Amino acid sequence: MDDIITGAPLGARVTAVTPMDDYMLYLKFDNGEQRIFDAKPLLSIGVFKPLQKKTFFNAVKVAYGSIIWPSDIDYCPDTLYAESVLISDDSPFQIEMNQADEGISIVAESREEYKK
């Protein structure tokens, strides 16, 4: 009875999310990484169909180390990390500060082009 059962350590968790054009998400993780997630493949899946409306998609927030939309539509943080692309010096993504609205804008190529 003295044995303590422990699980595997948690993977990286989301600390910030910014919706982008073309149903992409800019994500910051607690390990310091910045990544891009392409949400387009989700849009045809039943529970995610409300995301087709841009205003709904843009309502994404961080919650419990992951992301959530209205109506409690969420996505696994481990899957977000695994299926996103790291922003690095050799990635096709560029981050630009947008002074006008004090936000960020991101120029991104498609994931398919990045995987070539």
Please name each of the domains of the chain with its CATH number: 14-88 (3.30.2020.10)
Condensed to tens digits (0 to 9), the pLDDT of residues 42-84 reads 999 999 999 999 999 999 999 999 999 999 999 999 999 999 9
pTM: 0.76
Burial of 14 (0-12, 13-18, 19+ CB in 10 A): buried
5-26 pLDDT, tens digit per residue, is 777 778 999 999 999 989 999 9
Residue type, 69: W
> How many alpha carbons lie under 13 Å from residue 16 in its C-beta half-sphere?
10
